[in-house]
Amino acid sequence: MSSGIQKIMTFLMFEGRAEEAMNMYTSIFDNSEIVDIMRYGPEGPGPEGSVYKATFTLQGQAFMCIDSHVKHAFTFTPSISLFITCETEEEIDRLHERLSEGGRVLMPLMEYPFSKKFSWVSDKFGVTWQLSLP
């Protein structure tokens, strides 16, 4: 029996920049939106107004995120990345430019034996993206 809810969802933990990240991601990808945001109130435990829990979609795929009020000794790692199959050269060029802005390029945008055009970037929030034009 299916409830219509996506059972497995990518969950991103930010430290104070969750809303900024969601706004950037939903502005880059078509068919994307911030679905809901719950915020910490004055009682905390996180800073008032920061994201307690949020859901957003990128090209119809649902994601969740939070602003952790706890400082951790870790952040995002390239060993887990979001893989995007692009349909056009314009799309991969645009995504590469927008996602690498303020971040860093792990593999430059170019042809590889496994892809007509490919790039692997870490965005300004530390989330990594693999972009491929098959």
Domain 82-133 is of which CATH architecture? Answer: 2-Layer Sandwich (3.30)
pLDDT at 7: 84
Q: How far apart are CA 28 and CA 105, in angstroms?
A: 18
* 8 Å CB contact between 24 and 58: no
DSSP 7-64: SS-EEEEESS-HHHHHHHHHHHSSS-EEEEEEE-BTTBSSPTTSEEEEEEEETTEEEE
Domain range annotation of the chain: 10-67, 82-133
Indicate the fold that domain 10-67 takes in CATH: 3.30.720
Residues lower than pLDDT 70 in the chain: 1-5
DSSP label of 120? E
What value, to the nearest 5°, has the Cα angle with vertex 61 and ends 97 and 126?
45
pLDDT at 2: 53
The residues, ordered by sequence, that sit 6+ positions from 71 with a Cβ below 8 Å of its Cβ are 15
